[in-house]
Amino acid sequence: MIRPPGWFRRRAAMLVSLAIVIGLYAMTRERAMSKADSDEVASTFRFRRTPLPELPDHPPYQSVRKVHPSVRHIRAYVSTLGASVSMGDLDGDGLQNDVVWVDPRTDKVNCGCVPGTGDRYGTFALDPSPSIPNWDPARMCPQTSLIADLNEDGLLDVLVVYWGRSPILYLRKTPADSTSRPTAAEFESQELIPGGDRWYSSTAVASDLDGNGHLDLIVGNYLPDGSRMIDENAEGSETLHDSLARSGNGGGLRFFRFAGGTSGPHPTARFDLQDGVIPDELTHGWSYAIGPVDLDGDLLPEVYVANDFGPDRLLHNRSTPGRFRFAALHGERTMGTPASCVINEDSFKGMGVDVGDINGDGLFDIYVSNLTSQWALTESHFLWLNTGHPERMKDGIAPFRQASEELGLSRSGWSWDCRLVDLNNDGVLEALQANGFIQGRTNKWPELQSLGTSNNQLLHNPKFWPSLQPGDDVSGKDTFAFFVRGRDGRYYDAAPKLALEDGRSMSEAMVTRGISVADVDADGRLDFALANQWQTSYFYHNESPRPGNFLGLHLLLPLEKGAKTLAVPGVGHPAAELPGRPAIGAVVTVRLPDGRKRVAQVDGGTGYAGKRAPDVHLGLGSITEAPVEVRWRDPEGNPHEQTFPLQSGWHTIRLGWPADDKKGES
């Protein structure tokens, strides 16, 4: 048979095109875990799930918010935030076995005992109304909580950020005696700033930003200041994002410097709002999550900010005592680097952030969640690997490269909070991802996809948005992701392989927002809690068999001047004999026998809607002892460094003050 002219060329072109399509599919298709890894994972991790405690007489549940008339047609979209969870030590028993969580079904900030840790006191809600004259639950709702010692009296307080007003501090009153247990009446409510300005905040973190020894605050805000998004009686029209990739009309960041505090039956804490901390063009992002971490070794935290609808920011800390100052760092782009995989240049939808040493080189890496729904507006999560050149930050260069795809951590769904955490103490971090957006019956992704290609001139006006009502679904079937590292060095989502004690799969579809991590019973295995939107929220007790050894540290700053460094072995910390406050920002480095290092920090609220407890926890595998280097600033801001030879297990160390205390006692 004689082929017509050009037939071979056309057939060759078709084959080449087919080969390219197949090759691209093979490159983008997520790899599967090997059977050996899968079997090992199934036998390594085990968790028992229990609902978080609820109020005995809670208000009727709601499943959607009352919203401004101009956004009523997208009220399911507006109603997607509010669930959050934090674990810590509210009752002062030395264990991180108390939980504060926001339930959007009731819009209550619940406080109670973590399930399974004993009925030490009854669940209660933090009540702002007695001391907050402008409190109006019809136009305000809680978003995220942060447990921290805000007035430096050794008692843990709670900061809550809201939609519809500025944050409120709930300060723990000095207990009448050692048997007193937390109740709503034991917390004094106080505005962070007077007047209750109309903010729409998403998160808050605590850290010593200027190196003066006191705990400062950063509040991340989402919607524009003055919005009336959840006021059903307001007039006019609300404003949404002004760009799909470069939104600059959000609430952005606010920095607060600690200015003093008192304790007693009516405690107080004062924080002064700081102006001019960062350039104006960086202050108006739609900020979801914040991650403070010391990257250059000066014990001043750099700050990573995850922004929705615009570039994330990595801010280099150039503060001095009494003056906050941060400068934006920029990543370097190579021939093979997409523009959105460069720090300070991305156009993604930043939702969550966490820090940890994911490759075991003794350097902090940064894990960021974005929107990665399959067959939708697929972006990429970020895993910013530290290249080990902190000196470049002085020249405005971010010493990181993007490695999420090569490590298997680039995709999971419509994601929110994320966590890097060692749940079996083998020295290798797992990666947890909260996923899911709007759960319903009618798939509305096609309509939302069309919005994703719309003109920026229309985006800010809600009347051009497609209808998103209760019953609609957008990534509502995305499942919680539990990434483990395989033998090939890549991460794989093992959630479908993991069965809970009740026989359910850990890959159950939940609309999850926040992840909190703590070892609530001091058994050396980290537990976690998930805050779900419009659904039951859960605590996951870690019952994994055959965990490795671990190092657990309660690092405390003294309350009285002149206290020397004191290391106390044992489980928990003896609060009565050794009072103190968590040494937020202290950095711990463990030097292993083979020369490798592991690093961690005392966390002050990194992330979005979930906060980890301030203890340091490092998996050691088979190692039973190691030298542990601790670097910190005392309450006057003096830097210290001391090495402790420690056995595996829990230890409490009260870190010394003043600066000339180098010897210490043990």
Taking residue 39's Cβ as centre, other Cβ atoms within 10 Å add up to: 12
Residue 318: strand, helix, or coil: coil
Query: What's the whole-number average pLDDT of the chain?
Result: 91
* Mean pLDDT in residue range 564-585: 78
Q: Residue 21: what pLDDT?
A: 46
Same domain for 561 and 506: no
Residue 26 has pLDDT above 50, yes or no: no
Amino acid at 309: F
Instruction: Output the six-digit token pair for 386.
Output: 């530290």
* Within-domain flag for 7: no
77 and 222, same structural domain?
Answer: yes
Residue 428 identity: V
Averaged over 34-45, what is the pLDDT? 82
Kindly state whether residues 567 and 517 are assigned to the same domain: no
Instruction: Kindly state whether residue 559 falls inside one of the protein's structural domains.
Output: yes
Distance CA 430, CA 414 (A): 19
Helix (H, G, I), strand (E, B) or coil at 456: helix
Instruction: Give the mean pLDDT of 134-153.
Output: 96
In a domain, 582, yes or no: yes
- The residue range of the domain holding 276 is 67-542
Q: Measuring CA to CA, how many Å separate 468 from each of 69, 239, 500?
A: 14, 17, 33
Q: Give backbone dihedrals phi and psi of 445, rounded to 5 degrees, phi first.
A: -65, -40
Considering the domain boundaries, does residue 8 fall inside one?
Answer: no
pTM of the model: 0.94
pLDDT of residue 130: 80
Burial (CB < 10 A; 0-12, 13-18, 19+), residue 527, is buried
Q: How many Cα neighbours within 13 Å face the side chain of 262?
A: 7
CB 415 within 8 A of CB 353: no
Average pLDDT over residues 441-451: 87
Same domain, 564 and 521: no
From 498, 526, 542, give the residue that closes a domain: 542
Residue 19 forms part of a structural domain: no
- Integer angstrom CA distances of residue 516 from 14, 101, 156, 178, 259: 52, 10, 17, 28, 29
157 and 244 co-located in one domain: yes
Same domain, 441 and 572: no
Q: Which of 524, 542, 560 is the last residue of a domain?
A: 542
pLDDT for res 432: 97
Q: Does 46 reside within a domain?
A: no
The verdict on residue 349 lying in a domain is yes
Q: Domain for residue 75, yes or no?
A: yes
Question: Is the Cβ–Cβ distance between 384 and 368 less than 8 Å?
Answer: yes
- Answer yes or no: is pLDDT of 28 > 70: no
- Same domain for 581 and 603, yes or no, is yes
pLDDT of res. 574: 62
Are 233 and 301 contained in the same domain?
yes
What pLDDT does 666 receive?
Answer: 36
Residues 6+ apart with CB under 8 A from 169: 150, 157, 158, 159, 189, 190, 191, 192, 269
Residues 6 or more apart whose Cβ sits within 8 Å of residue 614: 88, 555, 582, 584, 602, 603, 604
Domain end point (choices 509, 542, 575) = 542
For residue 41, give the 3-state DSSP assignment.
helix
Residue 216: which H helix or E strand, with range? strand 216-221
By the 8 A CB rule, do 326 and 316 touch? yes
The total number of structural domains in the chain stands at: 2
Whole-number Cα distances in Å, 449 to 240, 242, 305, 408, 445: 17, 17, 26, 25, 6
The closest of 632, 642, 633, 638 to 664, measured between CA atoms, is 642
Token digits for 143?
Answer: 């978003």
**657: pLDDT confidence band, cut at 50, 70 and 90?**
confident
DSSP for residue 34: P
Query: In the structure, what pLDDT confidence band is assigned to residue 378 with cuts at 50, 70 and 90?
Result: confident
Structure confidence by residue, pLDDT tens digits, 391-432: 999 999 999 999 999 999 999 999 999 999 999 999 999 999
Q: Say yes or no: 191 and 288 in one domain.
A: yes
3-state secondary structure of 352: strand
Let me know whether 249 and 315 are in one domain: yes
DSSP code of residue 637: -
Shared domain for 530 and 572, answered yes or no, is no
- Residue 478 shares a structural domain with residue 592: no
CATH number of the domain enclosing 201: 2.130.10.10
Q: Name the pLDDT band for 24 (thresholds 50, 70, 90).
A: very low
What per-residue confidence (pLDDT) applies to 665?
Answer: 41
Residue 335 DSSP one-character state:
T
Whether the Cβ atoms of residue 248 and residue 347 lie closer than 8 Å to each other: no
